[in-house]
Structure 1
Amino acid sequence: MIELDGLTKRYGEKVAVNNLSFAVRPGIVTGFLGPNGAGKSTTMRMILGLDRPTAGDVRIDGTHYDHLKDPLTYIGALLDAKAVHGGRSAFNHLLCLAQSNGIPRARVAEVLDTVGLTSVARKKAKGFSLGMGQRLGIAGALLGDPRILMFDEPVNGLDPEGIHWIRHLMKSLAEQGRTVFVSSHLMSEMALTADHLVVIGQGRLLADTSMADFIQQNSRSYVRIRTPQRERFLDVLHEAGITVVETGGGPLEVDGGKPELIGELAARHQIVLHELSPQQASLEDAFMQLTAESVEYHAHAQDSGDGWGDGWQREV
């Protein structure tokens, strides 16, 4: 388990992380979300002892990272896949990590096979594609067979097969009872992977909740109805005390409605339905709703005079 207690990091007048307290628990995949500049990378670096907190505390299974003996056997992390000596082969890169952490040499071949790099194990890392580099970084995180794993943008550069593989890898690690903490900007993938979410904005904690509760609390759920007997069904719904949102002659929408009850009501009045479907916002919709006031960098299209917005403006 990873535990943060009032974790704070300042760089001069800039507060990158502001009094963060939460726990990352074993047995589930915990997603770590936030806009650019929210403090996610700084938080992960403090967990690994790469940055020292200005205030607060962070512990890994009750111990500070710098007090762990052979830390790769406790926590494995992928923060920057490019942090590899380009002149070393994939095998030798992992072997150096293994030897410095008391990990058997045989484990190197095992993790190379796990991530699908056995055929290029003796090739130098500087010739690797972005996706191959990601796989090598994941191999390094798995090397010590740790109980805790932390990944920052693990699907970056991976092809569809690789994305599918890392998704199921993270889920299987959690099912084994391990702690899995993953940061990503790819909302569609996070929605398929994470069970729990920690969301921060401008260094502050915005949410610490299950995926389902996060979407429900930060989005609108409704039932969409299409019928050729629109006006008649409107009267029926109103008589039943059901509030309807009209959409300019298009489908009817009932906020928080139960489709089975609406369907039964239509059947009793012999009303034909062409659509009766529950609608729920996506993780991306819910995330944008919650973090709207915490976005530090906004991009705006600038018109070059030909009708095309081909410029970008940074707003801080």
Structure 2
Amino acid sequence: MIEVEGLTKRYGDKVAVNNLSFTVRPGIVTGFLGPNGAGKSTTMRMMLGLDRPTAGDVRIDGTHYDRLKDPLTYIGALLDAKAVHGGRSAYNHLLCLAQSNGIPRARVDEVLDTVGLTAVARKKAKGFSLGMGQRLGIAGALLGDPRILMFDEPVNGLDPEGIHWIRTLMKSLAAQGRTVFVSSHLMSEMALTAEHLVVIGQGRLLADTSMADFIARNSRSFVRIRTPQRERLLDLLRGAGLTVVESGSGVLEADGGTSEQIGELAARHQIVLHELSPQQASLEEAFMRLTAESVEYHAHSDRPPQQERQAWGEDWAGRG
């Protein structure tokens, strides 16, 4: 378990992390989300004692990181896959880590096999591709067989097979009762991997909730309907108290009722339905909506910023 309480980090006048509190629990994959500059990397570095907090506290299974004996056996982390001596082989890199943490030499071969690097174990790390470097970093995190694992952008540089592999690995580690904390900008992958989310913006906590609740609270859900008796169904739905909009191409979007309720209503009035499907926003859409005011670095279109924000807001208003 990782416990973060009142964590704050200032760099001069800049507040990178602002009174952040949350708990990362075992048995599930917890996703850590936020726009660029939100303070995610700073928070993870403070968890590992790489940066000293201005205020607040972090405990790893109830203990400060700097008081852990052989820390790799408690928490394994991948923060920067490039933090490897390029002149060392993958095997020797892991062997150095193992020897400094009292980990048996045999464990090096085990993790190399786990991440698929056995065939290149004796090759120098400087010749590795980005994806191979990621796998080596993950091997280092797994080396001490820790109860807690922390990954920052673990799918960087991985091919589709590698992405599927790391997703399956994180889920299996959580299923073993381990604590798994992962930060990523790849929303589609996070939606398939994480069960719980911690979301921050400008150093502040924005959400600490389950994946399902996060999407439900920060997006619009509706039922999409197609029928050749559109006008009749439209009158019935509005008469039943549902909010219905016509979205073009003969499609109706109904808010305030379930697909089951709408289907039963149509059946009672002998209305033919060609489509009846519940719709919900993706994690990416929900994330964008929640963090819109917390984005520090904006790309700009040809429109002035005020028009861009207005158009974005109108787009969401049209959806909601």
Measure how far apart 1:273 and its partner are: 0.9
Q: Scaled by the length of structure 1, what TM-score is found?
A: 0.94
The one-letter code sitting in structure 1 at the alignment partner of 2:182 is V
Measure how far apart 1:248 and its partner are: 5.1
The one-letter code sitting in structure 2 at the alignment partner of 1:26 is P
The one-letter code sitting in structure 1 at the alignment partner of 2:56 is G
Identity %: 89
Query: Where does structure 1 differ by over 3 angstroms across 4 or more consecutive aligned residues?
Result: none
What residue number does 1:109 align with? Answer: 109
Query: How do 1:133-172 and structure 2 match up within 5 A?
Result: 133-172=133-172
Cα deviations by residue, 1:117-156 (Å, 9 ceiling, x for unpaired): 0000000000000000000000000000000000000000
Query: 2: CA distance between counterparts of 1:271 and 1:295?
Result: 46
The one-letter code sitting in structure 2 at the alignment partner of 1:7 is L
Which runs of 5 or more residues in structure 1 are unaligned? 304-316
Measure how far apart 1:244 and its partner are: 1.5
Query: 1: CA distance between counterparts of 2:167 and 2:292?
Result: 28
Measure how far apart 1:243 and its partner are: 2.6
Which runs of 5 or more residues in structure 2 are unaligned? 304-320
What residue number does 1:298 align with? Answer: 298
Cα RMSD after superposing both structures? 1.1
Query: 2: CA distance between counterparts of 1:65 and 1:243?
Result: 53
1:225 equivalent to 2:225? Answer yes
Measure how far apart 1:12 and its partner are: 0.2
Measure how far apart 1:267 and its partner are: 1.2
What residue number does 1:77 align with? Answer: 77
Query: 2: CA distance between counterparts of 1:54 and 1:276?
Result: 54
Query: How do 1:10-21 and structure 2 match up within 5 A?
Result: 10-21=10-21
Measure how far apart 1:249 and its partner are: 6.3
Give the 3 Å change call, closer, same or farther, for CA 235–249 of structure 1 in structure 2.
farther
What residue number does 1:310 align with? Answer: none
Query: 1: CA distance between counterparts of 2:243 and 2:182?
Result: 41
Contact 2:242 2:255 in 1 (8 A): no
1:254 equivalent to 2:257? Answer no
Query: 2: CA distance between counterparts of 1:140 and 1:235?
Result: 62
The one-letter code sitting in structure 2 at the alignment partner of 1:230 is R
Query: How do 1:206-225 and structure 2 match up within 5 A?
Result: 206-225=206-225
Measure how far apart 1:261 and its partner are: 1.2
Contact 2:242 2:256 in 1 (8 A): no
Give the 3 Å change call, closer, same or farther, for CA 247–301 of structure 1 in structure 2.
closer
User: Greater helix percent: which structure?
Assistant: 2
**What secondary structure is seen at the aligned counterpart in 1 of 2:27?**
coil
Cα deviations by residue, 1:131-188 (Å, 9 ceiling, x for unpaired): 0000000000000000000000000000000000000000000000000000000000
Query: 2: CA distance between counterparts of 1:7 and 1:240?
Result: 50
Query: How do 1:188-207 and structure 2 match up within 5 A?
Result: 188-207=188-207
